[in-house]
Amino acid sequence: MRFSTRAIHAGQAADTATGATIVPIYQTSTFTQTSPGEHLGYEYSRSGNPTRTALEVALAALEGAAHGLAFASGLAAETAVLSLLRPGDHVVAAEDLYGGTIRLLTRVFEPMGITTSFVDSTAPGAMQDAVTPSTKMLWVESPSNPLLAITDIEVAAAVAHNAGALLVVDNTFATPYLQRPLELGADIVVHSTTKYIGGHSDVVGGAVLLNDTGLRDSIAFYQNAAGGVPGPFDSWLVLRGLKTLSVRMRAHCENAGAVASFLDGASGVEAVYYPGLTSHPGHELAARQMPGFGGMVSLRLTGGKETAHAFLRSLELFSLAESLGGIESLASYPADMTHASVSPEERERRGINGLVRLSVGIEDIEDLLADLAGALDTVRRGQR
């Protein structure tokens, strides 16, 4: 089965108990046993639930993974992956990551003795140079949040494997429709399914996808032992969303490409970050690694923070909100929102201060461009 067919059918056969065509929401905490230890495969919904199983099978099918595990949030999924590490272990991470991931590494795992070196994963040799004898994991996002940097996943996998370490790729921005890191050599893929996979901004969730059965067992043990699982209804919402991933991603890519072209060179816009633009330093790599360039566009306006805030207040169709990947367009100011937990100096060094991030939805492109043009106009008039 090909991608769109898998999204609609993998793990989603008609319900064996009732014939229900769509996977039911098994809204139950527990399952009745016929005799102690004798049951139909499910005992208690933290350990397993049929709606969650359907989601896990579907997610694995989309990533081309042997195993899928669903979590209550993207960060719960990341925590489960990081639970593979022990005090003394070292992580080499890309420096452009979701702020919450940086917070998890530096403020939750570092005090437990697991250290992280953050490096520019787009600079040749930078990840290799950061590897130490204690390095057990490399962690990258591509495209990254919020600067949309592109990392060569095959190169990162080679660096990790030479060091005897695992490569983890957060594939949230690309989605499995545009990029399947396991096929490029990654060991583990994580997702915030809150974003494109869920796709409708109505549920928070996460996932881990991988091929290695031993690692799967360790992470599944943590999933049950620590308990950060999604409930049946949340599992069902993500499953409902992912059925349309391919059609939504095609529309996101088309609209984001048009938004990036419009902003590129527009008066008052200092820089546009979109891997589909030939001026993007990762453009050629992105074109090799992904069949489309995604739905996220970041930009910098002349005038810095005040101008950016005025621009964001002037938008009418784009909602000023955290998150991304839903059908509706969102705009954010990462320095004060998703990356507020990164220190101001670090944000300055990495070019996050002043940045505006757009999650381009699938509305009619004419309306989105008119909204952006209107906000740019308002800002320019205010500057006169």
Binding region for ligand P1T (CB under 6 A): 73-75, 98, 100-101, 141, 145, 170, 172-173, 192, 194, 204, 206, 322-324, 338
CA distance 307 to 267: 13
Task: Report the nearest approach of ligand P1T to the CB of residue 141 (Å).
Answer: 5
Nearest residue by C-beta to ligand P1T?
Answer: 74
Task: Report the nearest approach of ligand P1T to the CB of residue 236 (Å).
Answer: 17
> Can 46 be counted among the known catalytic residues?
yes
CA distance 382 to 41: 64
Residue (65 or 102) nearer to ligand P1T, CB:
102
Residue (115 or 193) nearer to ligand P1T, CB:
193
Task: Report the nearest approach of ligand P1T to the CB of residue 382 (Å).
Answer: 27
Residue (70 or 131) nearer to ligand P1T, CB:
70
Task: Report the nearest approach of ligand P1T to the CB of residue 105 (Å).
Answer: 12
Residue (116 or 338) nearer to ligand P1T, CB:
338
Task: Report the nearest approach of ligand P1T to the CB of residue 100 (Å).
Answer: 5
Choose, from 89, 96, 152, 170, the residue flagged as catalytic: 170
Please report the sign of the dihedral spanned by the C-alpha atoms of residue 165, residue 170, residue 174, residue 176: positive
CA distance 322 to 193: 15
Choose, from 42, 52, 96, 98, the residue flagged as catalytic: 98
Task: Report the nearest approach of ligand P1T to the CB of residue 93 (Å).
Answer: 12
CB atoms closer than 10 angstroms to residue 21: 10
Residue (42 or 332) nearer to ligand P1T, CB:
332
Q: Are 186 and 137 in contact (CB under 8 A)?
A: no
CA distance 157 to 162: 8
Cis previous bond, 281, omega within 30:
no
Beta bridge partners, 140, equal 169
> Can 98 be counted among the known catalytic residues?
yes
Task: Report the nearest approach of ligand P1T to the CB of residue 104 (Å).
Answer: 9
Task: Report the nearest approach of ligand P1T to the CB of residue 333 (Å).
Answer: 11
Residue (300 or 357) nearer to ligand P1T, CB:
357
Q: Are 165 and 137 in contact (CB under 8 A)?
A: yes
Choose, from 6, 52, 195, 350, the residue flagged as catalytic: 195
> Can 274 be counted among the known catalytic residues?
no
Cite the active site residues.
46, 98, 170, 195
